[in-house]
Amino acid sequence: MNSKILSYIKAPEIIDEIRSKGKRIVQCHGTFDLIHPGHIVHFEEAKALGDILVVTVTDEQHVNKGPGRPIFNDQLRVRSLAALACVDYVVLIPFPAAVEAIKCVKPDVYCKGKEYVRDEVDVTGNIVNDRKTVERFGGKMAYVGSVVFSSTRLLNQHFDAYAPHVKSFSKAVAEECDKDGFRRAVEALSDKRVLIVGDTIFDRYSTVSVQGLTSKNRILSGRFLREDTQAGGALAVFRHIREFTENVKLVSLVGTESWVEDEIAKHVHPNEDEIVRIPDFTTIVKQRFVEPLPAGKELSKLFSVNYINKSHPGPDVQRYLIDRINQFIDDVDLVLVMDFGHGVMEKEVRVLVQERAPFLSLNCQTNSNNHGFNLINRQYHRADSFSLDETEMKLAVGRKAMDYSAELQQLRKAFGAQYAWLTRGGTETIGAREGEESVQCPPFEVNIVDTIGAGDAFCSVASLAACSGLPIKTATFMGQLAGSEAVRYVGNSLNIKKSRFLKGSEAMLSV
């Protein structure tokens, strides 16, 4: 192994020893997906400020440059940097932000490009924390780089960073809303007041190592490895929305099992908690038995077990829910309904939100428990915005073969909706808006880990965009970008991060 490449664990000890000999440590940090002349000048000017230059690199799992990035994997990026004469050491950092990298190196001088002299240029908002961390260890910031290039722009213009149809769609969005306009549109979402009503689901991933078939009964045998419970359904949507606005409330329903309170407390503050607890209600858990996640491949699911009430809650529970909704519905801009058919969205609640919501965004989902029954046009007659997948669309119109764009427009008109979306997985997403031509948006991400929760992420951000009255191209781009981030993680293990979302949009709108 190249002696210039240090592990994240061993690097602090080695760098401390160098420092003890009176050497001045300089640090540069970034993705460094494509090494170009601007980087060389940056490193040389940084090295001139001290004795030892340590370059820290964000690992590929945490790169927030948008779908398909980084182009080059961890090993290639680290190896390229180590080959430069001006670089003394390279460390791969397994965290999304630079704070952990700074703590690892504790530099005397931490260098950023001259474009970061103004804090507001950094869409992640992390630069202030970086500076505080550097100063805490006795170091100082420096801004270097007399020659500036953008790796993202070079990759977009001269490499196949995105498929042609993705690049074409991104360019069309950039023409109507450039990256600065897009950022302003996203920041404006913070003014929206949102009420989320729907079913809370906990996704439980039980990871097993498959041993094979048992000798007597010929059933699949696996050795248990670990288990992870994630907040899904309406609670996942709450987590996504809260990244964009703090003015959000959730009305939902759970049981009183001993583990539930701890799980809810991880995501919902006490002053936000409008989740009704019912002793005789089974908290919805969808347990999936999966194999260990293979590098670079989609998660392999073996089978699932659902913990769901056989019958829906009675009138008393519906009155509880209606009372909660009535507390907030007149003081919000957007009511977002997440109807999984598990008991929250019974008739009385559906009537209330359709009559009273100032802007109603609807997601009425089909699953194995309600297949053929929880149809969007059977359960609802009004929405200002809605999204559904291909199966839900086929069930709604009652046939398999169709002109998807035409049928989506017909369904939008039937609801009197301003916006409508049809997500077709790895094929396309179709967006429709009153007064505009329909758009066909290609999938952004090809390296899919797990599709569970991607539709919820899409719906969350697209609903905010619709409530803001954004053009259909920009609103669809927003939703698709959120969905493309969600498929990179297992289930709902992570919610959409606004900083990553903005950084990804910058990359894609720089085509």
Over its length of 511 residues, how does the chain's per-residue pLDDT go in tens digits? 678 999 999 999 999 999 999 999 999 999 898 788 888 889 999 999 999 999 999 988 788 766 767 778 888 899 999 999 999 999 999 988 889 999 999 999 999 988 777 766 566 667 888 999 999 999 999 998 766 655 555 555 545 556 788 889 999 999 999 989 999 999 999 999 999 999 999 999 999 999 888 887 888 899 999 999 999 999 999 999 999 999 999 999 999 999 999 999 999 987 777 898 999 899 999 999 999 988 768 899 999 999 998 777 888 889 999 999 999 999 999 999 999 999 999 999 999 999 999 999 999 998 888 777 889 999 999 999 999 999 999 999 988 889 999 999 999 999 999 999 999 988 999 999 999 999 999 998 877 889 999 999 999 999 999 999 999 999 999 999 999 989 888 999 989 989 889 988 888 888 6
Task: Print burial letters for 479-495: b (CB count within 10 Å at least 16), e (below 16).
Answer: bbbbbbbbbbbbbbbeb
Compute φ and ψ for 432, nearest 5 degrees.
-130, 140
d(CA 91, CA 101): 8
Adjacent-strand bridge partners of 142: 111
Give the domains, in start order, of the chain with CATH numbers: 5-158 (3.40.50.620), 184-199+233-278+310-508 (3.40.1190.20)
DSSP codes joined into one string, 456-469 = HHHHHHHHHHHHTT
SS3 assignment, position 243: coil
List, in order, residues 6 or more apart from 244 with CB less than 8 Å away.
186, 189, 190, 192, 461, 464, 498
The amino acid at 498:
K
Structure tokens at 466: 């619709």
SS3 assignment, position 361: strand
**Interhelix angle for 472-486 vs 498-508, to 10°?**
120
d(CA 265, CA 155): 42
Structure tokens at 351: 């009537």
Structure tokens at 56: 């820290």
445 within 8 A of 487, measured Cβ to Cβ:
yes
Q: Taking CA 173 as the corner, what is the angle to CA 170 and CA 176, rounded to the nearest 5 degrees?
A: 150
- The alpha carbon dihedral of 14, 15, 19, 21 has a sign of positive
Q: Which of 510, 466, 461 is nearest to 485 (CA)?
A: 461
465 within 8 A of 475, measured Cβ to Cβ:
yes
pTM beyond 0.95: the answer is: no
d(CA 398, CA 383): 20
SS3 assignment, position 435: coil
191 within 8 A of 245, measured Cβ to Cβ:
yes
